[in-house]
Structure 1
Amino acid sequence: MSKAVTAEDLAKYQQDLEKTPASAAIQKAVMNNGVLKSAENTASQTTMTQTFSIDLSTGKVADQKQSGRCWMFAALNTMRHSIQKQFKIKDFELSQNYTFFWDKFEKSNYFYENVIKTADQDIDSRKVAWLMANPQGDGGQWDMLTALIDKYGIVPKSVMPETYSSSKSNEMNSVLNLKLRKDAVTLRKLVKDKASDADIESAKDKMLSEDYRILAYTLGVPPTKFDFEYRDDDKNYHIDRDLTPKAFFAKYVGWDTDSYQSLINGPTADKPFNHLYTVEMLGNVVGGREVRHFNVTSEEMKRLAIKQLEAGETVWFGSDVGKSSDSKLGIMDPKLYDKNALFNTSFDMTKAERLDYGESLMTHAMVLTGVDIVDGKPTKWKVENSWGEKAGQNGYFVASDEWFSEFVYQVVVNKKYLSADEQATIKAEYDHPTVLKPWDPMGALASK
């Protein structure tokens, strides 16, 4: 039975407020300064210093500006770190615009394929509604970036630099999503009218040609061959002629992308640890690499990340960056704001509860470049962000180990650091992972 709030209830709530210790003073503080400033715990700032027992040199941070390409920047940063170290090229960057172009184009095709697959469902079905809510966006995950690299390779930033729309993507996204939704109307009607496969494919081909033109106008045309010209840190001149993007990746990065595994920490009842998962309708390249997440405990995730850092390689990771963090200070720590004390109540939830009830999910990807280990255990982590040098300390953040436990949901490490049992499970389940629903929080795209 439902019960309305009565005048007597309101009078009681007001009395409870007045009985709360220092209520009037707290009210003034929050009204004048806001919640976070009033709840700020300065003690957290004294412990979250930029000093680490393992600290990899990575140079100047990149800046994704007003776009949601954090996942792309973070992944390309791990690769450019390798190039900087091997070829002695300080502050070198890979072209985020190049991968952005192909991601947008492939996502368009991926959207069309899903529209066709779900065309027999009502427009208000949950899957169709989810699909139409955001036909494509800037966000992504590690496997989506490697799917692009496997197909298209990468290029230096000098070969395909930033444009207005790559750095400030809202206008382009608005136009492209309008186009994709319009095309969805056409595709669903063709399926409903029992058009032939050839007619549907012909219509889709025309749509993709138009999408390519939109992206060419906004982002530029991706190069197919180029010369890589640079001067190294010792002032020696180099030029490498007639490279293709795939040849550039093979020569200057040289990674076997199959060697890297996405690990997630999703401690919810529907995701037993030590099993492989994928997410329905999550991806970008049709026929390319599919998303594969291996679910592990937070402690195992940390252990494997440390192994890779100890070997001198940085680590891509995904987190809920907006929780318990201050971008100006460059600090991420659950103790940074004491909201419980401020409001005299409890906001505490477990990590699983936050996932199940929509309070948290992965929103942003960054790079682990260091860790402070005391008595054999990590206490804080060094983080390379992609928000430019004005955020944090010259673009670098520090995350407490407790923050890692609570708000890091994904890391990517080389499979060689996994145990034999973990590798065997991944191999055995790779072709038949547990399929999660499209709206599962582990399918969230890093896009901050």
Structure 2
Amino acid sequence: MQEYLTIILFGGFLLLLFIGAPITVSLAGASMFAYLVLDKNPIALVQIAFTSVGNFPLMALPAFILAGALMEAAGISKRLVDIAETLAGPVTGGLGAATVMACLFFGAISGSGPATTAAVGMLMVPAMVKRDYDKSYASAVTAASGGLGIIIPPSIPLVIFGIAALGLSAPPEAVAKYGNFDTLSITKLFVAGVIPGFIMASTLVLTNYIISKRKGYRGLSNQWALSSVGYAFRRGFWSILAPFLILGGIYSGVFTPTESAVVAIFYSLAVGFFIHRQLSMNRVLDSLLTTTRISGRVLLILFAASVFGRLLIEQRIPVAVADSLLGLTDNMYLVWSMMIMLLLFVGMFMETLAAIMIIVPVLLPIMYMLGADPTHVGIVVVCALSIGFATPPLGENIFVASGVGGATVEQITAKIHPFVITSVFGVFLIAFFPALSLWLPRLVGF
């Protein structure tokens, strides 16, 4: 029965996707069919879906989306990009490096890959083209860097991973072999994402430098001007303060990730209305509309994916997969390699949040059986899936960069593969050396 149900769930899901059904419909349709086969009351499907969005951590999702939209409307993101530009100076490929760093900064505000790509791309792609960068290359750098938005905390996918993983305890066999595992929390995931985020950014900066040196791409100016750097920092003081306020409050324990999102909203309103004076009621309403649209889409996926994941767990499908895989090999590096390749493949075709909700119930029991820390697993999953934003056919960041920069999707895809390759190397580095994810949480007491 277990094998039969696995075919129904994944086969039905893939079939519906293949005929063009939205991912929410595909997940919900496959789950509903499985419920009917199991002769379960379909009302339970709705109850599970409702319960899945009734927990406190998930309140951070729409709050962070609104905070990111307000910060963009308030001019906070524009000032962060200006700081990155002035720091680039005359460095070879400086504007490309500034784009990566701007995405890193903005990722600490938006928590979204496409939002980061759009916000930074609108400013940086024209600036790079003006300095004789190829338009398609400028768009490719932006699209590849936008994925940093879901690694650097606060990260919406990390929130979703935490929610999905908190309901999965380590199997008794794993506890008997390795002892109790460290507690997983969204705050700990946020802290753990900092160093891996900088590692992923470093691979992009290095790739940009090598390509720019070959192409002769220069920075914004012929030399650093301390006056310009100082002006940018003075003008962007309140923008720089935003990530420190949000993350500092979380790491110090002053407020939870959910509460920090609310703090970010009020901070954005205060800065936008009274300091930058760029916010208006119309812009606030636009930000609310954007938040409603994005949150609604995400929550619909979460509804369907929660039911799909619950069925997997109830039928012990993840345990069967884990036993089968561990029957082939128990080498941690080999298992990580297979998992990363699976995540990269899934990221090419599936929206990140849905992928997390489907994969976590299968992946986490396997990694528990190998003694892996769940926080480290979460970071690797999100880092690997972040590359999916820059890989077709889904490749959301590529489409956003195309719309913002004017280059065609085909042109951007042709220029983005070096960044994808080095990013994959970064993911393997993070996976094979758990201390890169776990050192900082342990340092601050998690």
User: How would you bin the TM-score normalised by the shorter chain?
Assistant: under 0.3
Higher helix share: 2
Higher strand share: 1
Alignment TM-score, normalising by the size of structure 2: 0.23
Alignment TM-score, normalising by the size of structure 1: 0.23
